[in-house]
Amino acid sequence: NSEDVRCKCICPPYKDHSGNIYNKNVSQKDCDCLHVVEPMPVPGPDVEAYCLRCECKYEERSSVTIKVSNVILLA
């Protein structure tokens, strides 16, 4: 299920741009700032410096397991 995977990038403030969190459904190999941060908030020359500050993590979850757990807890 494509909704069960995502890449989450947390980017701190940079120059006059505030910090932001970006999420996107991409493969694990594409889980990096260049593939996830859209639109890029900084101009071309600053992209590398901006991306070096971002922390990107690939996340997987099982929505079926979550639903089953909720049913058991509510029963």
Predicted pLDDT at 68: 83
Q: For residue range 19-29, what is the model confidence (pLDDT) as tens digits?
A: 999 999 999 99
Q: How many domains does the chain have?
A: 1
Mark the ranges of the chain whose per-residue pLDDT is less than 50: none
Predicted pLDDT at 63: 75
- Give residue 20's domain range: 5-74
Contact, 6 vs 25, CB < 8 A? Answer: yes
Predicted pLDDT at 46: 95
Predicted pLDDT at 3: 65
